[in-house]
Amino acid sequence: MFAKKLRDCQTRNKSLICVGLDSDIEKIPSQFKVNGAKGVEEFNKYIISETYEYACAYKINIAFYEMLGYKGIKTLENTVEYLKTYSDIPVIIDAKRSDISNTAKAYAKFYFDYLKVDSITINPLMGVDSIEPYLEFPNSHIFALVLTSNPGANDFIIPNKLYLKILEKLRELEPKYKDQIGIVVGATQKEYFDEIVEKSEGMIYLIPGIGSQGGKIEDLKILVEKGKTMVINVSRGIIFSEDPKREIIKLREDLRGLTS
């Protein structure tokens, strides 16, 4: 199960950092870019080899692979297979899928039966019947968008308090799907953490938004104090840095400072 695999990896690597493989071919170094989709795969392997000792998970944003067509999908598959050679590190696919139940089941079959990843992100706004198909696969896990890190969260999610309504529905599902439901909460939304903590009970948090989006590590202290299990995603700040290993070590140490 994802929850146990994650916690074991966090303990072993003493890390809360999830490395986001948002491997945009336009931004990867030129020595990889010249090889197209294959170069993206080679870049991913380089990043993984530099960071796996200091990461608690990897998150692959599917958009940067779909944009490359069928070769990009093959790169996605090969990256997942490569990550499985590090069998004790969880793999999350960031797809933010949302659709009616039979379509959701087809998406879930790709991620959990074919790719055999540990978790995926989903958009819950189409309702419970669009969520459950993902949870019915053996050992599946989802991270449902609750409060995103982007400015657009102020358009619909925050004014209508949708994040609380989503949490209520997710909690209704929890007894049936124990340890299968996590939530996405942006690091830039610290003023809403108290409300979310009160409603989220034992759910694992996937936290984007640290670094380039403006989120700060110190803002997560309340989540540490409340004993929340966190997966803190950092993508561009690690993979496009001059020294990915040095960067993830620094971030890991900064985060460990929250718990001391």
Q: Report how far apart the first and last C-alpha atoms of the chain are (Å, whole number).
A: 29
Distance (Å, rounded) from C-alpha 232 to C-alpha 186? 10
Write the DSSP assignment of the chain as a string of letters.
-HHHHHHHHHHHHT--EEEE----TTTS-HHHHTTHHHHHHHHHHHHHHHHGGG-SEEEEETHHHHTTHHHHHHHHHHHHHHHHTSTTS-EEEEEEE---HHHHHHHHIIIIIII--SEEEE-GGG-GGGTHHHHTSTT--EEEEEE-SSGGGGTTTTTTTHHHHHHHHHHHHTTTSTT-EEEEE-TT-GGGHHHHHHHHTTPEEEE--BSTTSB-GGGGHHHHHTT--EEEEE-HHHHTSS-HHHHHHHHHHHHHHHH-
Per annotation, catalytic residue among 38, 45, 74, 96: 96
The answer to whether residue 178 is catalytic is no
Cα-to-chain-centroid distance, residue 110: 18
Say if CB 206 and CB 18 are below 8 A apart. Answer: yes
If you compute the radius of gyration of the chain from its CA atoms, what whole number of angstroms results? 17
Catalytic residues: 96
